[in-house]
Amino acid sequence: MTSSKEQHHLYKYYVETQAVSDVTRRTLVLVLAGGEGSRLRNLTKWRAKPAVPFGGKYRIIDFALSNCINSGLRRIGVLTQYKSHSLIRHLQRAWGFMRPEIGEFVEIIPAQQRLRPEWYQGTADAIFQNLDIVYRHEPDYVLVLGGDHIYTMNYAKMLAAHVQEQAELTVGCIEVPLEEAKAFGVMSVDEQYRIIRFTEKPEEPEPIPGKSDLALASMGIYIFSMEFLTKALIDDAEDATSQHDFGKNIIPAAIKNAKSMAFPFLNSTGEPAYWRDVGSLYSYWKANIELCDIEPELNLYERNWPIWTYQAQSPPAKFAFDDEERRGQAIDSLVAGGCIISGAKVKHSVIFFNTQIETGSYIKESVILPKVRVGKDCVLRRCIVDKGTVIPDGFQVGVDPEEDRKRFLVTDEGIVLVTPGMMNQRLHYERD
């Protein structure tokens, strides 16, 4: 039975976001969204990593931006650079609902060589080159985010901790096993979680006090007091030996010169919260497929923490035919609007919007991006199919690894990436 409280929650009209406070009003968010995302290989050949589709209807950047809105942070700048057209178009369509006349905005800040005839030389340089824009907003605090991770987080709690501790720098971090920590920036902290050392991708990560099997890995989330950030960026810009990177340069230097705190990202039970780095093809595939679990760690259905996005108006997903040898069905799967599953079987897969799958085809543990057409009697297993790809009748992927390697990109874990270019289907202009 559904309780009256649960019934009310389901039926209420409005989404309740975090209340805007004086501190959040005095905070400017800067989202670093100019990265190439080279480990995603051909998925980022024509788009920036934050613009890569995720979860059936979203883009990766939607998660960071939704966290901001749901946390009461409504002053946001998105810094773009690498192949930013699709990202900018998405931001304009999905995030144009803010009201700048009352101090709310999602502002696109493109790379524009404001200080010198060079593009951004690193994450820190990206903000340094736009300090004059930052000044105009007169923030007391600056929240710096990456636009390329999947998670839901209330930044207001981290901001409150930063203010309460009177810190000059606070770094969001996640507890990870020591072996996994080698791939991240790792913090060494005292018992009050003040950062003592910061090491980028250490060979022997230092464990958390009292938790010998875990280390604190940086999430790439930083809160700076504005005065300190300004000085840190200027000092870094004047250092000819610097790589002008937050993780490699700014954060290690700040720890020596300022009160720097770690903020562990934990769930309501005190355990490490859901956070995924989807920087490789395998991690991207895995994070999508995890959404098909009966009770996934990432709850896309939480009404009080919605993930906002843009999607063109599409009809509902349709499943056609109900014959023994010809039944349209999707089992333990996510199927977006505009899809037609016509006499095909989909199992434990994510099917993005406006995709058509024809009679007799079988798709298992696969991520099918938008506007894909799968012909009749095809088999797709453990693969990622990029946007706009046409799979001809009778085609097989993920059945014969040797054949797949001749045509497509196959990861060490056996995940196959299929793109229009690999199928000799030109969606973009390329010079031969």
pLDDT in tens, 220-263: 999 999 999 999 999 999 999 999 999 889 999 988 889 999 99
Cα–Cα distance for residue pair 8/4, rounded to 1 Å: 6
AA identity, residue 322: D
- For the segment 175-185, the average pLDDT, to the nearest whole number, is 89
Over the stretch 306-356, which tens digit does the pLDDT of each residue have? 999 998 889 999 999 999 889 999 999 999 999 999 999 999 999 999 999
SS3 341: strand
Q: Which two tokens stand for residue 226?
A: 């504005």
Predicted confidence (pLDDT) at residue 407 exceeds the cutoff of 60:
yes
Domain ranges in the chain are: 8-290, 318-423
Secondary-structure class of domain 318-423 per CATH: mainly beta
Predicted confidence (pLDDT) at residue 59 exceeds the cutoff of 80:
yes
Cα–Cα distance for residue pair 380/227, rounded to 1 Å: 54
User: For the chain, what percent of residues have pLDDT higher than 70?
Assistant: 94
The reported pLDDT for the residue numbered 303 is 87
One DSSP character per residue, 205-225 reads PPPBTTBTTEEEEEEEEEEEE
- For the segment 15-31, the average pLDDT, to the nearest whole number, is 83
Over the stretch 390-406, which tens digit does the pLDDT of each residue have? 999 999 999 999 999 99
User: For the chain, what percent of residues have pLDDT higher than 90?
Assistant: 72
Please count the CA atoms within 13 angstroms of the CA of 350 that sit on its side-chain side: 25
DSSP structural state of residue 39: G
Q: Does residue 389 contact residue 381 with C-beta atoms inside 8 Å?
A: no
Q: Which residue has the higher pLDDT, 190 or 376?
A: 376
Which distant-in-sequence residues (6+ apart) come within 8 Å of 346 by Cβ? 329, 330, 331, 333, 335, 357, 363, 364
- For the segment 109-124, the average pLDDT, to the nearest whole number, is 82
Predicted confidence (pLDDT) at residue 90 exceeds the cutoff of 90:
yes
Q: Give domain 8-290's CATH architecture.
A: Alpha-Beta Complex (3.90)
